[in-house]
Amino acid sequence: MSERFTKGMARNIYYGGGMFFMLLFVGLTFDTVTAVPERENRDQLTPAVAHGKALWEENNCIGCHSLLGEGAYFAPELGNVFERRGMGNEEVFKLYFNAWMKAMPTGAPGRRQMPQFNLSDEELNDLAQFLIWTSRIDTNDWPPNKEG
């Protein structure tokens, strides 16, 4: 075996493999950098969306929910809640979301309970705007499970 596999061959495999994976890395990085601007919706950021994100972080929503597949899996995925519960209609979603948040905790036995955060109507609207904005990010159908 050692007679056929020389140090020169090992060096060529090392440098050739290193160059191959370096080029692969550069190609995938270029593809990602060119694809991201087409998928994001940065141009739709508003002060309400930014405030909704701040509320999301201040209330540690990600401690129970996942957003675009990131976060805890104790409660449902919220990256697509606008599509699931609002059916693509912003007014319907805001009405649903407002009523849902004000009804918490429901006290239903045997169910996980969401705490009451006592958010104002404006804060609920901004949080809904953040979830609507998030649902419009092209994630290439991620996460695959719609209910999270």
pLDDT tens-digit map of 68-102:
888 888 888 898 899 889 888 999 999 999 999 99
User: How confident is residue 62, by pLDDT bands cut at 50, 70 and 90?
Assistant: very high
What rounded mean pLDDT belongs to the chain?
Answer: 91
Q: Band of the pLDDT at 135, cuts 50, 70, 90?
A: very high
Q: Half-sphere exposure of residue 126, counting CA atoms within 13 Å on the CB side?
A: 17
Strands 70-71 and 66-67: antiparallel
Residue 78 three-state SS = coil
Residue 99 Cα distances to 13, 55, 105, 142, angstroms: 63, 18, 12, 27
Residue 147 confidence (pLDDT) above 80? no
Cα gap 71→113, rounded to integer Å: 18
d(C-alpha 125, C-alpha 68), whole Å: 20
Q: What is the pLDDT of residue 27?
A: 98
